[in-house]
């Protein structure tokens, strides 16, 4: 049985119309020729999918639905195999996706019921067992952080302690701003074009306009718009600076226990 996608991000227009996007993938599945999948047909299908009830599905889910229909793994409303024609239309895709959504809903209900039965069948853990498991998880976590700092000099697995560490060391605003400026300069030196920035995927694309030059980006930053990835890097630096002072694994564990307390 097909593993269901856990969908958080709906289909985007870029995923639909890109060179190797969803339309072209479905066309190849159906054996649709370039004449049948005309620009007008593709435009019609694109407008439909992005405004239909199925716009909440991911690209992978939509493609999997069509694959299932072709492979006979998905039945139509009459519980018969779909009749697949070499054409790309909202009518055919709509029928397939309606049944896929129903299939997905039924399987989610089945999966949840199975998980609940599994929980009921499992023996309940005592408080002592739960405490022991919690301690083991804590020790594993601390070991990972300690080894990463020891081997690489840096870890990104403790960022969530930033706010408590900032209070603990009484981080001054002037120091935080200076650190941000230093990291921002490093960030800008690494990239000379807007394309370079996009390829890193280290920022929110909505922050920039595609027709902006690096000078315009710098001007935007100058007027107070922060770069999320630079902010995150600053937090990680502060957290690592604090944790690196640990002289041993036990010292690190004590520090983290104090942060969690």
b/e map 84-115, b = 16+ CB within 10 Å = eeebbebebbebbbebbbebbeeeeeeeeeee
| 256 belongs to a structural domain | yes
Torsion, Cα 160 165 170 174, to 10 degrees, reads -50
Q: Is the pLDDT of residue 251 over 90?
A: yes
Q: 251 versus 113: which is more confidently predicted?
A: 251
Write the pLDDT tens digit of every residue in 42-97. 788 888 888 888 888 888 888 889 988 888 888 888 888 888 888 778 888 889 99
Distance from C-alpha of 249 to C-alpha of 261, rounded to nearest angstrom: 18
Residue 131 half-sphere exposure toward CB, CA atoms < 13 A? 3
pLDDT given for residue 140 in this prediction: 92
The answer on 155 and 87 residing in a single domain is no
Q: Which domain holds residue 173?
A: 128-260
| 80 belongs to a structural domain | yes
The answer on 156 and 225 residing in a single domain is yes
| 189 belongs to a structural domain | yes
| 3 belongs to a structural domain | no
The answer on 104 and 31 residing in a single domain is yes
Residue ending a domain, among 97, 120, 143, is 120
Write the pLDDT tens digit of every residue in 23-39. 888 888 887 654 445 77
pLDDT given for residue 47 in this prediction: 83
Continuous segment of H or E residues that includes residue 241 = helix 228-243
The answer on 181 and 69 residing in a single domain is no
| 7 belongs to a structural domain | no
Question: For the chain, how many structural domains are there in total?
Answer: 2
| 4 belongs to a structural domain | no
Residue ending a domain, among 120, 151, 182, is 120
The answer on 106 and 150 residing in a single domain is no
For residues 12-20, average pLDDT: 70
The answer on 229 and 144 residing in a single domain is yes
| 2 belongs to a structural domain | no
The answer on 239 and 176 residing in a single domain is yes
pLDDT given for residue 37 in this prediction: 58
Continuous segment of H or E residues that includes residue 167 = helix 162-168
Q: Give the closest residue to 240 by CA, choosing from 120, 113, 154.
A: 154
Q: Are 154 and 148 in contact (CB under 8 A)?
A: yes
Write the pLDDT tens digit of every residue in 202-227. 443 334 433 455 666 677 777 777 77
The answer on 143 and 113 residing in a single domain is no
The answer on 133 and 94 residing in a single domain is no
Average model confidence (pLDDT) across the chain: 78
For residues 151-179, average pLDDT: 86
Residue ending a domain, among 120, 138, 158, is 120
The answer on 218 and 144 residing in a single domain is yes
The answer on 111 and 146 residing in a single domain is no
For residues 241-253, average pLDDT: 92
The answer on 186 and 136 residing in a single domain is yes
| 5 belongs to a structural domain | no
């Amino acid at each position: 049985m097909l593993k269901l996608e856990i969908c958080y991000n709906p289909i985007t227009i870029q995923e639909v119309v890109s060179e190797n996007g969803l339309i072209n993938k479905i066309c190849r599945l159906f054996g649709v020729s370039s004449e049948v999948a005309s620009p007008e047909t593709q435009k019609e299908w694109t407008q439909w999918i992005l405004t239909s009830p199925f716009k909440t599905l991911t690209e992978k889910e939509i493609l999997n639905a069509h694959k299932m229909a072709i492979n006979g793994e998905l039945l139509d409303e009459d519980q018969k195999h779909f009749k697949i024609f070499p054409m790309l239309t909202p009518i055919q895709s709509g029928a397939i996706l309606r049944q896929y959504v129903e299939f997905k809903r039924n399987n989610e209900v089945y999966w949840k019921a199975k998980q609940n039965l599994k929980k009921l069948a499992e023996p309940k853990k005592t408080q002592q067992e739960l405490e022991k498991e919690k301690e083991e998880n804590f020790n594993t976590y601390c070991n990972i952080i300690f080894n990463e700092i020891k081997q690489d000099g840096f870890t990104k697995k403790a960022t969530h302690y930033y706010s408590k560490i900032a209070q603990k060391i009484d981080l001054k605003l002037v120091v935080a701003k200076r650190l941000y400026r230093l990291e921002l300069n490093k960030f800008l030196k690494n990239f000379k074009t807007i394309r370079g920035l996009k390829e890193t995927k280290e920022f929110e694309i909505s922050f920039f306009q595609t027709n902006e030059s690096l000078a315009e980006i710098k001007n935007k930053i100058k007027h107070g718009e922060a770069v999320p990835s630079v902010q995150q890097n600053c937090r990680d630096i502060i957290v690592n600076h604090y944790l690196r002072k640990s002289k041993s694994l036990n010292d690190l564990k004590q520090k983290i226990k104090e942060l969690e307390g």
